[in-house]
Chains A and B, each alone.
Chain A
Amino acid sequence: MKNFSYIQPTTLDDALRATDTSEQFDILAGGTTMVDLLKLDAIAPERIIDISRIASLEGYTFDDENLRFGALARMSDVGDDKTLAQICPALTESLWKAASSQLRHAARLGGNILQRTRCPYFRETHYACNKRNPGSGCAALDGGDTGLHAILGGSEQCVAMYPGDWAQALIAFDAVVTVVSSKGTRLIEFADLHVPPGDTPDIETTLKEGEIVTQISVPVSAAMKGSHYLKARERESYAFASASAAVGVLEDGGVITEARIALGGVASIPWRAREAEEYLEGVRLDEASAFETGRIAFSEANPLEGSAYKIKLGASVVAGALLTAQKRARQEG
């Protein structure tokens, strides 16, 4: 790991001032992605701005209209929150099923949504990687191990998978992100935060240089009660998703009136399966229609040899998640 200048601001103001520099910098929150990648030399910033002690970004609050999460709230605290589990189980389940208890204690929500891909060739600097080193090629597409790569939203330059879990619940429920820079504050729809690789895999988000995420907020909606996050992994726990789904359903008179479906472990960015949602709305949800919805969610998939298994697995995960969500939606109270 190369050494770096290190600034630990205790106010957002000081953090923004620290971004006003000619040194190439990265933000550090809980450090569980950052320190990992620093050790690998996959990133080597000249300056680190450690925002983990800006107390004003730690809290989270719920009211009838919005669930608001400070960018420095911990995955563990929010994942364990009983009130949130009542309001929207998919939001707590997707945190609880991520990483490990130690990582969730350290990691913050802002860092969580901005975690980097686990593509092994991005992590190891001796491989060609258009994301880490634009123009160098892509070791995964050159016939590497592609078991954990994207089958949706990839490009000819990069098929890295977005590995996070919580983001799927956020995109399913129309979250909005507040970002602040020295130029002011703006809101970004969560669905517009991440960008697919296209010809520029090194550009992963629509954040501009010097912008800091301060809050993630999710509008309360009726389909939250009937929500679920289902995650299939290579082992029972402590593994990234092979395929996952965050779903929410609302039923009326036996048919689905609102469906929200997002896919994890399969796409280059947090992925909302809009066509699958449209199919399900107005339909009676049973095992057959659940699997049909799953099939539609992957109809545009473009897998490599190693990632082809995700189509069938992912469709089943969508189906399973929907049937559990339906049971929840039907529960009284």
Chain B
Amino acid sequence: MPADSDLDSRPALSRRSFLTNTAIAGGATAVGLKTRVVYADDIKNNDDGLIADDTLPKVQLTVNGQKRTLAVEPRTTLVEALRDTLGLTGTKIGCNHGQCGACTVLLDGRSVNACLVLALSIDGSDVTTVEGLSDPVGNLHPMQSAFAEHDAFQCGYCTPGQILSAISCIEEGHASTSDEIREYMSGNLCRCGAYPNIVAAIESVRDAKVEG
């Protein structure tokens, strides 16, 4: 059984009885309805010293349109779950502290730093990573094409995060001037300094949208 439990089972920790029937079994219950309780010491190690996955709580995410169920520790961040558990290494880790934007993904349609999100906290959510941007037959997303056309990268390490922020920038209507784009995109650092071309790529997608 996963580590989800309810506070009633812990009189020593919870002096008051409550939350009857509110624990989520397996973590797959609909979002926003039930209080979730996970105790650190319910998570056990196997004889080999590694964590026993079946004692971990589960989180269900729709990642790039596909429903995935993952066993995670309470401390596991979204970027770790994506890269290490799901093998989606398009999302990068730069600083791991919210300072660079390499880990940017769309969470329920909004760009966030996946390094600062606990995977357990977003059960039931929708996550889009750079792997999920092209269409089923492999055509690139217009923003990906624009980055390629405008040479909006050198080493490419910051690029997945830049592209997701760029999509969010246009979606939210913050691409009206190059200054506004620069301000909105300031959470994505590029140590190769591709900034002018990144702004040009975003402007081209914006303009194509207006014309189209």
Contacts and interface: CB of A to CB of B under 8 A. Distances in A.
Interface string A226-259: 0000000000111000000000000000000000
A213 interface: no
Interface stretch (B133-141, B150-158, B164-172, B196-204): B164-172
A106 B117 contact: yes
Contacts of A14: 18-19, 22, 35
B165 A5 contact: no
Contacts of A22: 12-13, 15
Nearest to B74: A6
Contacts of B40: 3-6, 46
Contact of B75 (A1, A7, A40, A80): A1
B96 A39 contact: yes
Contacts of A55: 32
B116 A35 contact: yes
Nearest to A235: B186
Contacts of A101: 111, 165, 168-169, 172, 174, 184-187
A165 to B, nearest CB: 14
A277 B16 CA distance: 50
B187 A99 contact: yes
Given A3-B40, A5-B74, A8-B35, A35 B117 contact: yes
Contact of A103 (B33, B77, B185, B187): B187
Interface string B1-34: 0000001000011111011001000000001111
A126 interface: no
A192 interface: no
A27 B32 CA distance: 18
A100 B187 contact: yes
A17 B16 CA distance: 8
A35 B73 CA distance: 14
Contacts of A7: 7, 35-38
B73 to A, nearest CB: 6
A11 interface: yes
Nearest to A7: B37
A274 B211 CA distance: 53
A105 B18 CA distance: 33
Contacts of B54: none
A18 interface: yes
Contacts of A106: 107, 110, 112-113, 116-117
A55 B34 CA distance: 12
Nearest to A18: B7
A21 to B, nearest CB: 5
Size range of the chain B interface in the assembly: 35 or more
Contact of A32 (B41, B113, B184): B113
A28 B137 CA distance: 41
Interface string B48-71: 000000000100000000000000
Nearest to A14: B35
A1 B115 CA distance: 13
A39 B38 contact: no
A236 B186 contact: yes
A50 interface: yes
B97 A39 contact: yes
A106 B188 CA distance: 15
Contact of A3 (B74, B116, B185): B74
A103 B113 CA distance: 7
Interface centre among A2, A55, A76, A100 (most CB of B within 10 A): A100
B118 interface: yes
Interface in B83-136: 96-98, 101, 104, 107, 110-113, 115-118, 120-121, 123
A40 B116 CA distance: 12
B117 A100 contact: no
Nearest to B111: A102
A65 to B, nearest CB: 30
Interface in A70-120: 76, 80, 99-103, 105-106
B90 to A, nearest CB: 16
Nearest 7 Cβ contacts at the A-B interface: A100-B187, A237-B186, A6-B74, A238-B186, A105-B110, A8-B36, A14-B35
Given A8-B121, A80-B172, 19 more contacts: A3-B75, A4-B75, A6-B37, A8-B35, A10-B33, A14-B19, A17-B7, A22-B12, A32-B116, A39-B97, A53-B32, A100-B187, A101-B187, A102-B98, A102-B113, A236-B182, A236-B186, A237-B182, A237-B186
